[in-house]
Amino acid sequence: MSVEDLQQQFVAAMNAASTSADLKALRDDFLGRKQGRVTALVKSIASAPPDERRALGAGANALKQLIENALTVREAEALAAAPPKDALDVTLPARQPWMGRRHPLTQVQERVEDIFMAMGYQVIEGPEIEDDWHNFEALNMPAEHPARDMQDTLYLSSPVPVPDGGRAATLLRTHTSGMQIRYMEHHEPPVRIIAPGRVYRRDSFDATHTPMFTQIEGLVVDEGISLGDLKGTLNTFAEAFFEARVATRFRPSFFPYTEPSAELDVECQGCSGRGCPLCKQTGWIEVLGCGMVHPAVFEAVGYDANRYTGFAFGVGIERLALRLYGVDDIRMFYENDLRFLQQVAL
């Protein structure tokens, strides 16, 4: 058989083949080591007349290469069109392993803690179930004070034992300020602490309110602590937190346990103070409440109010997170939608 005849036979057989099985049979038929037709042709070269051997050998090799190439292409096409069930598809994009992260609120809390720890503050924690004395009375909020109103506070129906407690009702703490009292009851000045934790209020659950949120309380007490120390400390904090030289302002405010009291505002990062929806067109963002510790608080814990002065502040973690990430609905932080969490991760 001539090289040309064999090539025509292969082309005809190739056109008839469609599945991977057809192509495998075709490969065996033409290139098989024992019975293959091209193999037979190559073997026949030895018995051909000497003057034809060279041309026959070249033709047979070229045909072998042509069949090999054609089969390789068709086999790949057939495999792509109908891969076997257990086939390894090397064209499939790899699955990216998803890296877990800490929750955005945790990250913001740790960021605040890191800044104050770098300034020499100690981090302390305390009970979320609190008694009336630590949450209100020792903080200069006597029985008839409006802040103790049932609208705001979640009282427990039966008293629960709390550390150093036992005075009247127990409740879910409405702020972390009770940690000021708990710490001062057991430590003499100088005091330099922050106390992060969850707090609870009887509030609605909407874009700007949640019945539970996170605060970081701060307290500094020593001889000669002044309002200048308060302003310097909180300005340093604001610059470190927002990683920028931000303008700040202290607005007069009122808290029963500080005198004087103030709210710290920072210039809105969204509009650089020009006014935008994030800052309600004021150009300023409220960041925390603060003030000089009220002498009545020192009296409640047995500190000498003539000798010691101090300042306290309370930072809302959710509020900071809203500003930092430019989020306009606080509920996003609690729904744990992975699309949101991945987007705002630091």
Could you list the residues that contact Zn ion (CB under 5 A)?
268, 270-271, 276, 278-279
Closest separation between CB of residue 334 and Zn ion, Å? 25
Residue nearest to Zn ion (CB): 268
CA separation, residue 340 to residues 104, 168, 241, 321, 330 (Å)? 10, 43, 22, 13, 12
- Least distance between Zn ion and beta carbon 113 (Å): 27
Sheet of 122-123, strands arranged across = 122-123, 191-200, 212-222, 309-316, 284-293, 258-267, 248-255
Q: How far is the CB of 326 from Zn ion (least distance, A)?
A: 10
The distance of closest approach from Cβ of residue 212 to Zn ion in the complex, given in angstroms and rounded to an integer, is: 27
Q: To the nearest 10°, report the CA torsion of 264, 270, 274, 279.
A: -50
Closer CB to Zn ion, 268 or 327, in the complex = 268
Give every strand in the sheet of 129-131, ordered side by side.
129-131, 170-172, 154-155
User: Residue 253 Cβ, how far from Zn ion at the closest point, in Å?
Assistant: 21
Say which amino acid occupies 339: R
| Nearer to Zn ion among residue 165 and residue 270 (C-beta) | 270
Q: Which is nearer to Zn ion, 276 or 341 (CB)?
A: 276
Shortest distance (Å) from residue 341 CB to Zn ion: 25
- Closest to Zn ion by CB, 131 or 265: 265
Distance CA 263, CA 261 (A): 7
To Zn ion, the closest distance from the beta carbon of 270 in angstroms equals: 4
Cβ closest to Zn ion, residue 199 vs residue 264: 264
Greatest Cα pair distance in the chain: 125
Q: What's the closest the beta carbon of residue 313 comes to Zn ion, in angstroms? A: 23
Output 105 or 276, the one with its CB closest to Zn ion.
276
Residue 270 or 295: the one with the smaller Cβ distance to Zn ion is 270
Angstrom CA distances, 123 to 110, 218, 319, stand at 11, 9, 20
Structure tokens at 21: 């099985």
Identify which of 320, 234, 240, 325 has the alpha carbon closest to the alpha carbon of residue 285.
320
Comparison of 212 and 278: residue with beta carbon closer to Zn ion: 278
